[in-house]
């Protein structure tokens, strides 16, 4: 029960982080296609992995019973996605140290004297953000997060498989013990009935 709840929680975390990743990377793919240019590998690899991973995560949530029944297979696919996200993050590694935002200040300071008195204009500070750089960096961060998330769900599935296997063994042993007990009771009843009939027949013979 706890394992299933934890698995569902981390699956939803994967979906929540993959949807914005898809949106940001799809923007870059669209821009390159509109310019009749090939999409760079650093964007294309992570985009394809994110599309497949999002579809897989949604499918396993919707088909929860099949996911539990095929826990080993689903765990294997999750581990494959861990490797795929590592490859995608590695391709996009150059954005890790990029500075996507900076502050600019207007150093001009002016003083105006008029009939209303003295007016002064203080220096202004603005935050400048490179949108495309920020989107690449966010996709890079979400890729690292999904490496961790898919590793967690893979190990949770292994735990659920082991727990289910242990439960089946307990049920099998209990069923075997109950059947053995019922079988012994049946034999004891038939034996006592046969002994009673034999005793009655001997008593009738002597009479």
| Structure tokens, 182 | 């019922």
pLDDT, the chain, mean: 79
Q: What share of the chain has pLDDT > 70, as a percent? A: 65
CB 26 within 8 A of CB 39: no
pLDDT tens sequence across 20-40: 999 999 999 999 999 999 999
pLDDT tens column, 56-72:
999 999 988 888 888 99
Torsion of CA 112, 115, 118, 121, to 10 degrees: -40
pLDDT of residue 206: 39
Q: 5 pLDDT exceeds 60?
A: yes
* Mean pLDDT, residues 167-178: 58
Partners of 117 in the β-ladder: 114
Count, in order, helices (H) and strands (E) of the chain. 5, 4
Task: Give how far the C-alpha of residue 133 lies from the chain's centroid of Cα atoms, to the nearest Å.
Answer: 27
State the residue for tokens 């049920």.
171
146-171 pLDDT, tens digit each: 999 999 999 999 988 887 665 565 55
* Angle (nearest 5°) at CA 55 between 49 and 58: 135
- Burial class of residue 134 (count of CB atoms within 10 Å of its CB; 0-12, 13-18, 19+): middle
- pLDDT tens for each residue of 182-206: 666 655 555 555 555 554 544 444 3
pLDDT at 104: 59
pTM of the model: 0.69
- The highest-confidence range among 30-34, 106-110, 121-125, by mean pLDDT, is 30-34
């Amino acid at each position: 029960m706890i394992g299933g709840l934890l698995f569902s929680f981390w699956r939803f975390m994967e979906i929540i982080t993959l949807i914005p990743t898809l949106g940001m990377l799809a923007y870059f793919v669209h821009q390159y296609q509109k310019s009749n240019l090939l999409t760079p590998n650093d964007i294309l690899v992570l985009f394809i992995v994110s599309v497949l991973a999002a579809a897989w995560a949604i499918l396993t949530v919707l088909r929860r019973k099949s996911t539990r029944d095929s826990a080993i297979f689903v765990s294997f696919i999750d581990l494959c996605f861990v490797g795929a996200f590592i490859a995608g993050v590695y391709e996009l590694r150059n954005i890790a140290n990029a500075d996507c935002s900076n502050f600019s200040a207007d150093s001009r300071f002016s003083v105006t004297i008029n009939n209303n008195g003295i007016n002064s204009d203080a220096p202004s500070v603005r935050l400048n953000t490179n949108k495309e750089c920020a989107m690449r960096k966010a996709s890079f961060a979400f890729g690292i997060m999904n490496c961790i998330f898919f590793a967690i769900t893979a190990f949770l599935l292994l735990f659920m498989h082991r727990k289910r296997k242990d439960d089946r063994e307990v049920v099998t042993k209990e069923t075997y013990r109950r059947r053995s007990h019922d079988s012994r009771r049946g034999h004891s009843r038939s034996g006592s009935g046969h002994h009673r009939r034999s005793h009655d027949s001997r008593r009738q013979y002597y009479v």
